[in-house]
Structure 1
């Protein structure tokens, strides 16, 4: 083997393969060598103690793995991968990109996307444009929440895309003024904590000899038909047919007479839907489904050899095909005899019998009421026999690539082959499990598992016929690792060129719970302790989720090159989860440059922050500032120059314009207050006090940078925006959503800047804004108080302020051309509220700040453990002041006085609080 390792690349003989610069006589020799090295690593307790290391025996991990390309545990060869394919960070190399939106509705009908299902998937065709935009051929891409590996598929698609696709992308980019993309492969690292996810990702991203695969698959199915086809045989008169599926019905007890009621026979109407009223066939009692009591029988479990209870189920219907015609009928004595013969067979020795752990889906719902305890409880005897036989035959195949691909087609059908497969009479097809949950229906469709497995082959055949399937053989530059995203061991710092990732969405999906079924067949199980989700059973709330996500993003920040980008696809309807993601990103050093919906409609600040507004999938574009900005901050400290240095860098990263359907859109991140928020987060993250007040910052922006349509630009950017603006008929409008005191002030500022008005004129307009979107725990302010604290009212004595003069002379014909001291103008202007000029605004801001801090002092001294009423603006001002004084204890103390929901739903409060906790822990 030493001689083999000393061979140089580029000297391969026929049949030889190269991997990480090492030449091997064959794929088998390569696999044997690296499996041996992995087996040695698995014996090392330190290696097994890594975060996210899966639960499984060495043999099971080795059986899933194909090192160095894929390991069902942390991949020890990631450092070698980066050194072989990547390039060290070079600060002198020019790199500049604007954020790019992603439309993930693209490509969901593509054969590659549909080849294997997973709980959430972003189609590879939706990822390809981002990879082309942010990278060049040879750049290293990372996906730390890889799931089924679509990012790897997209990275390789950049090299094998068909000419029609290339022409389409190039035409679209040219029309939008973008340079043509550079086609070619991007080496990719895929990481996920779930072994079944990484197993799917490996199969998606590595070569398969389709002809050899089909040969082995057909051989196995011929053997299965010979040995187990009798289980699905049915007599149709003189002809022999084949069962498509068998319907099993639960049996219930009547609460009145205790008689048995077969659900299928008595609970369905003529259309196949459950009746509102069920008549007991024994005593004629009028019952609802909730009145029925599920009947159980006591058995000796053939898998565990222990007594247990299971629901009584009766086979009531078979759907079969005979002479190419589908039919249905009740079971006869021959059908029942086959079922009994199957039940009497010995329990398969390779079928998983492990018990379900305590999880959300076993505590509630039908998993609990049907007393499902072990994995094999989810399979009827016939399905379990065929699946086990299939796996036994697959494991005898010598070719590891074919062995893995055949395993994939089986695990794709696990749910359909189980009692989770519902029978829905009103539906035209047999396979209909609920997605995203374990749900055992009262009517089960027991599928023909041989046909199920055979049908999955067609998915792989369709995928292999695409340019993706034909092009994968050009090389293996995708490495897959099974590990926690909080510690992707082996990747050196500042070596990744781009990250695209689709993280868990809080409590939307219980990934490890759902994967437990499939992973039990492999014998390698996700370590749920490091899974970044919200899960009450596992004791993970929003704070725990945020800490885990922050750890993941910190790792991404560590490995990403300065100045480079990360795209985060995110979906959750809860503002608290959205805030956790955004704060986590900012805490580790990323700067958010754009938040857009998946249909490329951009969110306003208020939409993104409103507790009732985050309803769609979002794409978050963030960048890692270059090392020069970090170094200058450390040298200058909390000086105003540092703030303007950040602004200069940040504006350069933002898109100059966004256009949709021929109309310009507001670039939300160019809003002055949003820029201020990003600057504040930057200083807080680096443990510096914020050097400028809000009004000082806003005033400085006005003096330093040009503004167009409510957006701030660098001087060299504004010319390009003006050119785009001249090409459209209408200026973009920033839509404001009022959800708290701050957004109410912003709305009033926008309204009064356009239209200085009296209280009577403002009031009805303002009232319509205080709708259902108002934050639950936020005290609603009085309009007059908001006006008095933040704006100026003209009393009619002095000259008319220019803000009001401009509005009146423009909108009232009889007032045009009048001087500011004209009595007619003064009479019309009297009692109008208007936005003060910057110098007076600064004075108002300071006055308001003193008032807010005074009220914050009352919060500190308020008796009791909880604040019943509070203003978010007071809390924000108080937290900011306490941070500047390094009074972290006050921040934490007040945060514990307000409802956790209120804290989690406000990005600013969450930012101060989380950093205060971090500093207190560091000082402890």
Structure 2
């Protein structure tokens, strides 16, 4: 427990709650109970109109009201959010002017583990550690500013916002400035009732000592009545407490048709092994689990009293504690009789008996006869859970206790796998409702008692800093331009079926996710990638609408599919955001590194983007069709990028500052906003060097370059970002990196080049190394003025040879026929020549698709990109669509530039 929690507990223990006046949204109540009653009645009146809002959850009105704690939290859309935002704006310090706000992209390393008590308190599908989020809040916001997370999940953004005001927690992260330390106000929303309910509990103050006492009392009360259910005998004469019971599936031998208890035939639990091949005990036939038929049995459903068919599962192992030591035993006659006795008992308290919903994941256990929620629990555990729930609901700490209750619902179900090599008692497979062939039925009294202590340490809140709702982000009622910063961790494609997995929890709280427009890719509900992208765009458009101009959004992303990443990026940009940085979490090193290719998404990514300022938008609109729109964009974009990145004596390349990436960002902004791209790549390369200072191949503003030079001179080495070569563009960048280190011959480059291109996409018609060199670089053959890069290389490597850099014949003798990176002016000329070559190649594809309806099997992606850009500038949208339809769908979906042109061209044509 933190010092502040102890202090809060002491204060709460010495005051009468009924005598404490409470002021909320300008209204004063004599106590918190009166506040809750007043706003609950107000919420009841508003429910009819709230039900018209997209994402309103499924449940009875009384259950929604019972779950809510208005105005702070509602298990439906929250009608008071705008009132809170207006109040928070009024409370902001008058010393901070909005016009003074400026932040560059956050690029510091972020590494926060998952061992914190808050992170571990509840087994919800996904979370971002709140300490990691705190670093972003400290960078992008000031105390008192308003943060929004519309995919809030368990509310870690809210916890982070509050903990920014805790000096000990802030100083632990290295923040000691009094101007930085201070709570941030947070608006949290999620489609899932269980997620928003968890978020509410994490973000609500509680009397921890009173909660702890109440929790232990209720658990002990139920345990005292039913302790016999979890008793066994040690050596047949001394009672002991069961920790868990292992149940095993039973299969049929295909050779002799006898029953095979999987645990007995295939598991060596003493050595922690499960055999892939095992023998039938009856006929000794060698078998493998795959392909074996299960043994089935007829049961009477405890809810309907009707007979049902389920796979046969039998108890095979009991782990128990005797004299503080753990032992294992095979169930004996006493244990089996106990289970038979329990099986005949009635359950007198309510429990969920809902049919598992349709979905990709939620009905995976239908094939074993486990079709309803209550089928996923043993009779013993279901009985105890129903009684605990009833008593928790009637406690003054009902919300915190129900959070405790739901935290173990998966661990205490049949989804809890027995793993002989793992000592940890709770092992459900994350992100799925998979039921293994060996089930560990855990003792609920042990589970909840052990969890209470963790919960006490997880309750950080000393005051209410967050307002929470249960609703769809696509229909939020937050006012325009009212949010200072957004941190969000949205659902990513088909990674996790959130509503299906949440159903087990939500069935116990009687309020269910309305998943009609859930942003997931789901085959059962026929939601494909385009549907997902459209929903994500709707969500990002809402984010864009409510965020103040010039402010930032951070998107945490986790998906291994490039197509899903591109859908996210496309949605962000189409909504109006400008992506300033994409970083990948290096899980081994615990740090974030810049991503240079949007198809290298095997890691967790963090996307930083901003909403353009009003000034930039006005400047672009007033200069429409002029090249000045390009430079207006570049100027603001450079202002938002970090000036210097480096550590341990090294300066790192800032990928976003390189001319190629700047050009791509500028083009994307114009295309996504329906503007004509005002300048070609070649002209851009030429003019960028005239308008801005260049250092180490990066572009800076005049007021930035002095800072870079000052820091650059203090480090010895300059490191380029590691590249994954997958196409022509990344191959060119790889060559550029090699030649930036030193001028090289074609023979020097070739061996390593061949190794790097082993992962080139099958469809990519990659030019030979000679062609790539000729189109993008220059060769010095020992005549004419010595290029700067060659001269610099000679001075560094041939210091003993005086005047060598001016002696062309001697340079030839030393083999100085080498390729090098041209200066910017020459680079622009090469870019123009290369662009003409690419466009000629593109026109050959146009001609090919006009003659045949077959897909293009091999092509130069760079030629397609160049052709699409030219066609967009010429408003030849049909040409883009015609060629795009002949490309493999995977190529379009996994290439962010092609997808951008193709989608926008279709929109222009009304397709």
Q: Same fold (TM over 0.5)?
A: yes
Which residue of the partner structure matches residue 40 of structure 1?
Answer: 45
Cα deviation code 1:475-501 (max 9, x no counterpart): 3231111122223x2210111111111
- Counterpart of 1:137 in structure 2 is 143
CA deviations over 1:444-463 (Å, ceiling 9, x no partner): 11111222222221212233
The residue aligned with 1:420 is 415
1:70-92 CA-partner distances (Å, limit 9, x unpaired): 11111111111111112699996
Task: Say which SS state the counterpart of residue 326 (structure 1) adopts.
Answer: strand
Are 2:841 and 1:855 aligned? Answer: yes
Aligned length: 883
Q: Tell me the CA shift for residue 406 of structure 1.
A: 0.9
CA 1:33 to 1:200, structure 2 compared with 1: closer, same or farther past 3 Å?
same
How far residue 803 of structure 1 moved from its aligned partner, in angstroms, is 5.5
Q: 1:433 is matched with which residue?
A: 428
CA contact (8 A) 2:243 2:319 kept: yes
CA contact (8 A) 2:790 2:820 kept: no
Query: In the TM superposition, what are the counterparts of 1:606-685 in structure 2 within 5 Å?
Result: 606=596, 608-609=597-598, 611=599, 613-685=600-672
Tell me if the contact between 2:418 and 2:440 (Cα under 8 Å) persists in the aligned partners.
Answer: yes
Question: Corresponding residue for 2:712?
Answer: 725
Which range moved further: 666-675 or 298-307?
A: 298-307
User: 1:317 matched to which residue of 2?
Assistant: 317
Q: Does 1:206 align with 2:192?
A: no
Structure-2 change in CA distance of 1:795 and 1:425 (3 Å): closer
CA contact (8 A) 2:620 2:628 kept: no
Q: Answer whether contact 2:163 2:183 (CA < 8 A) is retained.
A: yes
Cα deviation code 1:528-572 (max 9, x no counterpart): 333223333333333333222222221111111111112222222
User: Could you tell me how far apart the structure 2 residues matched to 1:314 and 1:770 are?
Assistant: 55
**How much has 1:802 moved relative to structure 2?**
3.4
- Distance in 1, matches of 2:149 and 2:448, equals 30
Report if the CA contact (8 A) 1:815-1:824 is conserved: no
Match of 2:831 among 842, 845, 855: 845
CA-to-aligned-CA distance 1:45-89 (integer Å, 9 cap, x gap): xx3232222222222222221111111111111111111112699
CA distance in 2, matches of 1:192, 1:743: 39
- Alignment counterpart, residue 35 of structure 2, candidates 17, 30, 45: 30
Partner of 2:247: 248
- Residue 82 of structure 2: which of 63, 79, 83 is its match? 79
Query: Structure 2: which 5+ residue stretches go unaligned?
Result: 1-16
Partner residue of 2:887?
A: 898
Q: Is the 8 A contact 1:794 1:832 kept in 2?
A: yes
Residue 304 of structure 1 contacts residue 353 of structure 1 at CA under 8 Å; is this kept in 2?
no
Structure 2 residue aligned with 1:553: 540
Give the corresponding residue for 1:61: 64
C-alpha distance after superposition, 1:868-919 (max 9, x if no partner): 1121111111211221122333323322221222112211112212222333
Q: Residue 190 of structure 1 aligns with which residue?
A: 188
Distance, in Å, in 1 between the alignment partners of 2:632 and 2:117 is: 48
| Alpha-carbon contact 2:359-2:524 (below 8 Å) kept | yes
Instruction: Tell me which residue corresponds to 2:299.
Output: 299
Equivalent residue of 1:528, what SS? coil
- The aligned residue for residue 289 of structure 2 is 289
Q: What is the alpha-carbon distance in structure 2 between the residues aligned to residue 769 and residue 261 of structure 1?
A: 52
Q: Give the drift of 1:300.
A: 2.9
How many angstroms does 1:157 deviate by? 0.8
Specify the alignment match of 1:52 in structure 2: 55
Q: CA deviation at 1:780?
A: 1.8
Aligned to 1:454: 449
8 Å contact 1:353–1:375 — kept in the other structure?
yes
Task: Give the 3-state SS of the residue equivalent to 1:127 in structure 2.
Answer: helix
Query: CA offset at residue 372 of structure 1?
Result: 2.1
Secondary structure (helix, strand or coil) at the match of 1:18 reads strand
Deviations 1:151-203 (A, max 9, x none): 111111122342x75276236xxxxxxx6652221111011111111111000
Aligned partner of 1:174 in structure 2 is none
Q: CA distance change for structure 1 residues 323 and 766 in 2, over 3 Å: closer, same or farther?
A: closer
The answer on whether the counterparts of 2:243 and 2:442 sit within 8 Å (CA) in structure 1 is yes
Residues 182 and 603 (structure 1), Cα distance of their counterparts in 2 relative to 1, 3 Å cut: closer
Q: Structure 2 CA distance, aligned partners of 1:800 and 1:133? A: 48
TM-score, structure 1 normalization: 0.90
* Distance in 1 between residues matched to 2:877 and 2:23, nearest whole Å: 56
Residue in 1 aligned with 2:339?
339
After the TM superposition, which of the residue ranges 678-687 and 206-215 deviates more from structure 2? 206-215
* TM value normalised by structure 2: 0.91
1:532 aligns with 2:537: no
1:19 and 2:18 correspond = no
Q: Deviations over 1:778-819 (max 9, x none)?
A: 1121223323433455678x7356368636854557986379
Moved more, 442-451 or 301-310: 301-310
SS at match of 1:241: strand
Change (3 A) 1:333 1:706: same
Does the residue aligned with 2:205 lie in a helix, a strand or coil? Answer: coil
State the SS of the aligned residue for 1:71: coil
Which SS does the other structure have where 1:530 is aligned?
coil
Q: Distance in 2 between matches of 1:309 and 1:347?
A: 21
After superposition, what is the alpha-carbon deviation per residue over 1:491-538, rounded to whole angstroms, capped at 9, x for unaligned? 101111111112223332222221111111112222233322333333
Residues 295 and 505 (structure 1), Cα distance of their counterparts in 2 relative to 1, 3 Å cut: same
Q: 1:480 to 1:738 in 2, by over 3 A?
A: same
Indicate the residue corresponding to 1:9 in structure 2.
none
Per-residue deviation, 1:757: 4.9
In 2: Cα distance, 1:317 partner to 1:747 partner: 58
Once the two structures are superposed, the pairs formed by residues 498-577 of structure 1 within 5 Å of their partners are 498-577=485-564
Name the CA distance, whole Å, in 2 between partners of 1:808 and 1:500: 46
Range moving further from structure 2, 211-220 or 548-557: 211-220
- Partners of 1:643 and 1:15 lie apart in 2 by 60
Match of 1:790 in 2: 776
Cα separation, 2, equivalents of 1:741 and 1:371: 53
Residues 727 and 83 (structure 1), Cα distance of their counterparts in 2 relative to 1, 3 Å cut = same
- Segments of structure 1 that go 5 or more residues without pairing to the other structure are 1-11, 172-178
| Aligned partner of 1:106 among 93, 105, 112 | 112
Aligned to 1:8: none
Query: Is the contact between residue 102 and residue 127 of structure 1 (CA under 8 Å) also seen in structure 2?
Result: no
Counterpart Cα distance in 2 of 1:102 and 1:590: 22
Deviation at 1:418, TM superposition (A): 0.6
Cα distance, 1:385 vs structure 2: 0.6
Q: Secondary structure at the match of 2:538?
A: helix
**Pairing partner for 1:405 from 391, 400, 406:** 400
Higher alpha-carbon deviation: 753-762 or 131-140:
753-762
Cα 1:159/1:767, change in 2 over 3 Å: same
Which residue of structure 2 aligns with residue 175 of structure 1?
none
Aligned residue number for residue 158 of structure 1: 164
